[in-house]
Amino acid sequence: MALTVLIVEDEVDFGAIVALNLTRAGFSTIVAKTGEAGLEAARTRRPDLILLDLMLPDVQGTEVVRRLKADASTRMIPIIMATARGEEIDRIVGFELGVDDYVVKPFSMREMVLRVNAVLRRGNGAAPSGEEPSYTVGPLFVDGPAHRVFLDGREIELTALEFRLLVALVTNRGRVMTREVLLERVWGIQADIETRTVDTMTKRLRDKLGTLGRHVETVRGVGYRFSEGTQEP
């Protein structure tokens, strides 16, 4: 049976294009035009993933997420947030709302389908609550539930914070993470400590990762990115 994606989007034409592309990619789709309609559809139809617009006419996207996460019947459904403005990204990914990914409008349909597939594959939404997923990136294996990291089968000793930093970077690989977002994700605070702390810890993590360390790229003046190209010759 096809997996179902709920699209919550008030721009009708755009929602239709998104739905068409997801249908072509083999998904079933439901389109809701308001936050309330989206919440209702999530509860009654139990989609496998929700593509949620941030700017909705009735309930803000962030509030929709909060309500989805507060309801046991919808809590596990992975969410990709669609945002139109770059400055909103920090708020969304830093918000610890449980958003699995985000796309910035205008996004390409190809990118959107890739992200939907990636989130579903990652299975974040299917993981039992409290259990963290595991990741394999080239020679790196991150054992989420055990909080252990292996490089080429050899364990790397990381502190709890270094582990959280690595997970934040790896789960968003290929994308830039700002220092502020990393602070919120890793330290769980709203930039009360200096962003330089992020630089210090990233350097330490990079050193511990050895040959893989170069994949933790500095994006000058912005933050860090775990590069996708992990295939070693």
171: left (phi over 0), alpha (psi -120 to 50) or beta: alpha
Residue 178 and residue 91: Cα distance in Å, rounded?
Answer: 11
Residue number, 53 or 100, with CB nearest to Ca ion: 53
Residue number, 59 or 161, with CB nearest to Ca ion: 59
Identify the bridge partners of residue 137 per DSSP, sorted by sequence position.
Answer: 140
Residue number, 16 or 127, with CB nearest to Ca ion: 16
Amino acid at 100: D
Q: Shortest Cβ distance from residue 55 to Ca ion (Å)?
A: 4
Contact of 49 with 80, CB cutoff 8 Å: yes
Residue number, 55 or 176, with CB nearest to Ca ion: 55
**Residues written for the chain:** 233
Given the rule CB under 5 A, which residues bind Ca ion? 10, 53, 55
Strand ranges for the chain from DSSP E: 4-8, 28-32, 49-53, 79-83, 101-104, 135-137, 140-143, 148-151, 154-156, 176-178, 216-219, 223-226
Q: Shortest Cβ distance from residue 61 to Ca ion (Å)?
A: 8
Q: Shortest Cβ distance from residue 116 to Ca ion (Å)?
A: 18
Give, for 184, the enclosing helix (H) or strand (E).
Answer: none
Q: Shortest Cβ distance from residue 114 to Ca ion (Å)?
A: 22
Q: Shortest Cβ distance from residue 97 to Ca ion (Å)?
A: 18
Task: Give 199-221 as a DSSP string.
Answer: HHHHHHHHHHTGGGGGGEEEETT
Residue number, 85 or 203, with CB nearest to Ca ion: 85
Residue number, 17 or 151, with CB nearest to Ca ion: 17
Q: Shortest Cβ distance from residue 110 to Ca ion (Å)?
A: 21
Q: Which of 184, 180, 186 is nearest to 160 (CA)?
A: 186
